[in-house]
Amino acid sequence: MLKSVECATSALNKCNKIHSEASEDNSMKYLLFFYFVVVGLSSVAQTITVIDEATGEPIPYATVLIRNGEYGFVANDSGRIELFNLMKSDVLEFRSIGYINKKIKQTEVSDGDSIGLTSSALELNEVVVRPMQAVEYVKLALRSIPSNYYPDSFATKHYYREYLKENNRIINHAEAVLEAIQTGYLSEKDSFEFRILAGYKSQKEDLEFMLKERDKEIKKELKTAEKEGQEMTEEDFKMPLEIGNPPFLALIDPLRNADKLFVVNDDNVDFLDSTTHSKYDFWYGKPVEYGGQSLVVIHFDQRKNVRKPMLAGTIWIEQASNAFVKIEFGISEQGEKHMVPTFVKAALWIYGLSFDIKNTLVEFNYQPFKGKWALGGIRMKADLLLEKRRLFSENDKSDFAYECEMLTSELSTLPYAFISKQEYNRKVLLSEQLPDTPREEWLELKRKSRMYK
């Protein structure tokens, strides 16, 4: 299988849309904490799971607000939330886009509980009649960006996590607590200064077994290539284990540079670009509730006559302000058919290689900040099945799963004084820059980093 890992790398990079040609070295390789002490805090942490009341399935990245939204907690991709530093008087407000908010007293929640949310789309079953087509409503939201998103430079704190799995075995894993200063949404030129406060990565001994197995397979493939008269080296089998990086994730926020006549940016988020709207179909979905507000839901997909890989997804827009609250997309089902040119498919067939893009997802969430909005979180996922078939031999399969997230734990106005003195170097792998953080200290920081202010 490893004989064509380069192909897997290319496909993985494409399906994530995160291999940036804009990085300084042209080879984009692939929530900080805050602590508060008040009288009456509960010292016992509680872990709960937020689920869909109808299906019982977990709701990824649901949020819990306390003290009128001053603080909150963010669930992981399995819907689990760790609550801590709670007051006995706290009321927990559970939220997720598309679900009705639920409030529960802190004293009524126990460790290990599952909290069920009811879909708001089922409740808001009226048809919203609009005088404009869905694509025109998207343009209206784009024109409203200057009045909705924070215009001046601001400081942020983040929790960053990235991992890559092969056949459900982690082959790379890195986490970090970051600080940053970002230019405002109306700036003509985006600039991001990141610093690293703490971090954690898979230790060498944790990955040693997987790396040994990979080395064995590489040696087998080298011998096979030699017998077949092919000139190959171990470099041909190298795979980038880190794909995204924090400044790049902030850079691809599709709502930046919105003053450029809907040409939002150059990073292929083209469903927001009016010059490519003719290649997409837009239609309204059922409105949903979020935070007591009604959200307009718009779905989009590339048109059937488009012969290149494009995107499909959903946009949530706050009806009262026309602000984008969430944008989610991935390679469209039709677009996947055009990911690899016909001549490449033929070459793959000759070598007995095939791959299937099982899932791609890029998600941008926005949160209120000083009466405006700013980026609250970025998440990217991709699943790729790579299969090698050789005559008279068993199939070799690798199922690659990639996930990356960067959550904003705190937003603040300037001036801002960095806590960390370690600058992030975008030319160096993040895992190679992580400070030596004691494990117990890191675990405490990680727990607090999924809390936002």
Q: What is the pLDDT of residue 396?
A: 67
Rounded Cα distance between 123 and 157, Å, is 36
Dihedral angle, C-alpha 37, 39, 44, 46, nearest 10 °: -80
The answer to whether residues 389 and 132 touch, using CB atoms and an 8 Å cutoff, is no
pLDDT at 22 over 50: no
In contact, 416 and 194? CB cutoff 8 Å: no
Dist. CA 406–CA 421, nearest whole Å: 20
pTM for this model (two decimals): 0.76
Q: Please give the structure tokens belonging to residue 14.
A: 């494409």
How many angstroms separate the CA atoms of 250 and 287, rounded?
Answer: 28
Residues 369 and 375: their CA atoms lie apart, in Å, by 9
N-term to C-term CA, the chain: 46
SS (H, E, C) 356-376: EEEEEEEEEEEEEECCEEEEE
Q: pLDDT for 357-379, tens place per residue?
A: 677 888 999 999 999 999 999 99
Percent of the chain with pLDDT over 70: 71
**Residue 182 confidence class, pLDDT cut points 50, 70, 90:** very high
**pLDDT per position as a tens digit, 268-318:** 467 887 777 788 999 999 899 888 888 999 999 988 887 777 889 999 999
**Alpha-carbon gap, residue 227 to 275, rounded angstroms:** 52
Which residue matches tokens 């559970």?
Answer: 94
Q: How many C-alpha atoms does 349 have within 13 Å on its Cβ side?
A: 7
Q: Which residue has the higher pLDDT, 42 or 355?
A: 355
The set of residues, in sequence order, having a beta carbon less than 8 Å from that of 261 and lying 6+ positions away, is 274
Residue 330 near residue 313 (C-beta atoms within 8 A): yes
Task: Report pLDDT digits (tens) over 76-131.
Answer: 888 999 888 888 888 999 999 989 899 999 888 888 899 999 988 645 445 454 57
The backbone torsions φ and ψ at residue 328, rounded to the nearest 5 degrees and listed phi first, read -135, 135
Q: Who wins on pLDDT, 22 or 279?
A: 279
Rounded distance between C-alpha atoms, residue 272 and residue 277, angstroms: 8
For residue 418, count other CB atoms closer than 10 A to its CB: 15
Is the pLDDT assigned to residue 149 strictly greater than 70? yes
Question: Do residues 377 and 74 touch, judged by C-beta distance below 8 A?
Answer: yes
Mean pLDDT in residue range 341-367: 67
Query: Does residue 148 sit in helix, strand or coil?
Result: helix
**What average pLDDT score do residues 199-210 get?**
62
Contact (CB, 8 A) for 354 and 12: no
**Could you report the per-residue pLDDT of 119-139, keeping only the tens digit for each?**
886 454 454 545 789 999 998
Question: CB neighbours (10 Å) of residue 48?
Answer: 23
Sign of CA dihedral 315, 319, 322, 324: negative
